Amino acid sequence: MYGRLLGAPGVKGFVIAGFVGRMPMSMLGIGIVLLISALTGSYATAGAVSATVSVAFAVAAPLSGRLVDRFGQATVLIPFVFLHGAALAGLMLCAHAGLPTWTLYVTGAATGACATSLGSMVRARWSHLLQGSSDLHTAFSFESVADEVIFVAGPAFVSALATLINPYAGLIVALVCTLTGTLAFALQTKTQPPAVRHREHRGSPIAIPGVALLSAVFFAMGGVFGSIDTITVAFAEEHGNRTAAGLLLAAIACGSATSGLWYGARHWRVSLRVRFVTGLCLFVVGFTPVALMGAIPVMAIALFFAGLAISPTLITGFSLIERLVPAAQLTEGMAWISTSIGFGVAVGAWAGGRLTDLYGASNAYGFSVASALLAAVIGVTGSAWLRTSVAGQRS
């Protein structure tokens, strides 16, 4: 099934370019932390600059998505990727020259604001090429698995480059991947969705009740992702094996990738709304045992099973967005999901670190479980908006 999708004309090109171009989304944050902490000796400054980049991206992503819907992917991506590259290069130069700290925040904000949600644009291409086809479900599943691979490989790769070569190496490779991947993606104009200069629907997709609901759900899920990353590093350190943190985080990503491949290979007769609500409930059930584990081996098993509900829930969420949002606003609509997750990750990382310092890693996992429960409560109580909205849009 996946082979049939990738065999379609023009698909392999934008899939490979999109993969390379969005590899840096998992490399940028940790690369900035490694560079600035190495040059300044301050993890607080490094973390703050990295957070500035993330917040700037979260704020700007829906705006760049709106520009893409109106003017086309190539028209927006090409200038934005050069601006992003210049800002990131400026950040490295400011850090290298020892310029005042405020210059790091300014260049960091510019780096995040000029980054684009390439994953949303890849999914928008799939939606354009497969509109009305059941294969779109499989395509979204494939992209979710690709995201998991990126989030497993990216941090490990950039950490190795920064520690084994020099502190700049990870960010330089991230910059090269961004430029080459995004430009190659943008230049493949035959598969891009058509621009809609004059659209019937005014306003932002976030005003659609179902989109607002999904954004709230994914904000809470982002809190889980951000807190799990931070707390798991501390958990491994508390148990005397800090290097095991990478394996523990890989376990949750492997669980998500495994379920994503299985979920995408099946044709479902159950409605998207029911699948989404079920996924959220399983999300809570899967993460609850994590707060009870007291050793690294059993924690790895618990995290693998916790990850099983992630990809199916994300895949169904993007499928719902594709149904809820008018075609002329699809990229912006999907960007709202990326924005919501990004804000949630930022809050979760902060809360996870704070609670770990106060109560220890094992107790801090309670925040992750509470965030998962919040996502499920929001999704279940507001699910009628998804049913009503989907019925009113194309199906």
Taking only the tens place, the pLDDT of each residue in 329-346 is 877 888 888 888 888 887
The confidence score (pLDDT) of residue 6 equals 73
- How far is residue 146 from each of residues 68, 130, 152, 154, 219, measured CA to CA in Å? 22, 19, 10, 12, 21
User: Which residue among 174, 196, 218 closes a domain?
Assistant: 196
Mean pLDDT, residues 178-205: 81
> Is 317 within the bounds of a domain?
yes
Percentage of the chain with pLDDT > 70? Answer: 93
Question: Tens digits of per-residue pLDDT, 143-160?
Answer: 877 887 787 677 778 877
Residue 210 and residue 175 share a domain: no
The answer on pLDDT for 214 being more than 70 is yes
For the CA atoms of the chain, what is the radius of gyration? Answer: 20
User: Which residue among 196, 231, 259 closes a domain?
Assistant: 196
Mean pLDDT, residues 270-278: 89
> Is 395 within the bounds of a domain?
no
Mean per-residue pLDDT of the chain: 84
Domain containing 124 — which CATH number? 1.20.1250.20
- Find the range with the poorest average confidence among 11-15, 21-25, 101-105, 130-134: 130-134
- Find the range with the poorest average confidence among 28-32, 82-86, 309-313: 28-32
Residue 237 and residue 109 share a domain: no
CA 164-168-169 angle, to 5 degrees, is: 55
Look up the domain containing 152 and give its range: 1-196
Query: What is the spatial distance between Cα 162 and Cα 177, in angstroms, rounded to a whole number?
Result: 16
Residue 195 DSSP SS3: coil
Domains held by the chain: number: 2
The answer on pLDDT for 257 being more than 70 is yes
> Is 371 within the bounds of a domain?
yes
Residue 239 and residue 172 share a domain: no
Mean pLDDT, residues 118-143: 81
Residue 288 and residue 191 share a domain: no
Residue 54 and residue 10 share a domain: yes
Mean pLDDT, residues 310-338: 84
The answer on pLDDT for 103 being more than 80 is yes
- How far is residue 10 from each of residues 7, 118, 146, measured CA to CA in Å? 8, 17, 18
Residue 208 and residue 192 share a domain: no
Tokens of 55: 């917040």
The answer on pLDDT for 176 being more than 90 is yes
Q: What is the pTM of this model?
A: 0.78
The confidence score (pLDDT) of residue 278 equals 93
Residue 181 and residue 53 share a domain: yes
336 or 107, higher pLDDT: 107
The confidence score (pLDDT) of residue 393 equals 44
